[in-house]
Structure 1
Amino acid sequence: MPRTRSPHASTPTASTAWGLLIIRLALGAVFLMHGAQKLFEFTIPGTVESFGAMGAPLPEITAPLVAVLEFAGGILLILGLLTRLVALLLAVDMVVALVLVHAAAGFWVAEGGYEFVAVLGAAALGIALTGAGSLSLDRPLLRGRAPAWLA
């Protein structure tokens, strides 16, 4: 007997909502902590110096931009607010880090490789494509007020 498709097959399930929440919380916490490290531990001048030493273009601009993006973006991912846009920006951040800094060191993170930034970038891109899910602030705050690609 052929299987028939449920009329609810494309409706997100509770497990999908919880799965997206778990990924957002973990990913957001990692980005939040890395941004906090750049802002408060290394400080902006130290981060600018580090970016310059790594060969990042325009470190006086890119270092504070990345620090704020990672810190604020982590918070926004945790909250599920402006999720698609923030996740896309963080994915781009990781692609740039992979290409400019980590690719030459190979795969393994212990050797400075791209293993970790690849996972962060893939997770961020996945969230950018799927959105925050129903357990987010995007749903109640932006429903119908923002383009679908943003929320």
Structure 2
Amino acid sequence: MADQVRPVVLLVARVAIGVIFLVHGYQKFLTIGIEGTTEFFESVGIPLAALAAPAVAATEVAGGLALIAGAALPLAGSLLALNMIGAIVFVHGESGFSAGDGGYEFVLALAAASLAVGFSGGGAFALDNVRLRRRGAAAVIA
């Protein structure tokens, strides 16, 4: 039974986590804006805030899209987890654990979920696996 639902469960997890990152990256680019994000990064002491703001926003957008598509999953999951570790260190860590108090609870969950999904193999509906199946089929034919 678990093997039958695994592809769907992995798809749901990838899409849910990917959408969260995509929306947060989108906000940094368009809602708050890179200037506003840079100002916030400066206010919390993130080094090289003018470079970090667009890099973080791009990582969240590209990483979110990669999770949704199931492409480059280990790389996307690792970069998104590192992104969240930075958020814990610079923004949420001082507030303790509880997300209700601005703490790192949700950010830690996103970091762990990014790694779990990134190294899950993505399931049958992941682009990473479509490419692998094609290579495997070509190897069998050749």
**TM-score interval for Structure 1 and Structure 2 normalised by the shorter chain:** 0.7 to 0.9
Asked whether the 8 Å contact 1:84–1:132 carries over to 2, the reply is: no
Aligned alpha-carbon RMSD (Å) = 1.6
1:103 maps onto 2:93 in alignment = yes
Displacement after TM superposition at 1:141 (Å):
2.9
1:122 maps onto 2:112 in alignment = yes
TM-score by length of 2: 0.88
Asked whether the 8 Å contact 2:81–2:114 carries over to 1, the reply is: yes
Structure 1 residues without counterparts, runs of 5 or longer: 1-11, 146-151
Partner of 2:139: none
- Matched length: 134
In 2, distance between residues paired with 1:133 and 1:57? 37
Asked whether the 8 Å contact 1:17–1:134 carries over to 2, the reply is: yes
Alignment of 1:64-143 (within 5 A): 64-143=54-133
In 1, distance between residues paired with 2:132 and 2:53? 30
Displacement after TM superposition at 1:110 (Å):
2.0
In 2, distance between residues paired with 1:139 and 1:51? 37
1:55 maps onto 2:42 in alignment = no
Alignment of 1:13-52 (within 5 A): 13-52=3-42
> Deviations 1:64-85 (Å, cap 9, x if unpaired)?
0000110111111111111111
In 2, distance between residues paired with 1:128 and 1:29? 15
Structure 2 residues without counterparts, runs of 5 or longer: 137-142
Displacement after TM superposition at 1:42 (Å):
0.7
% identical aligned pairs: 43
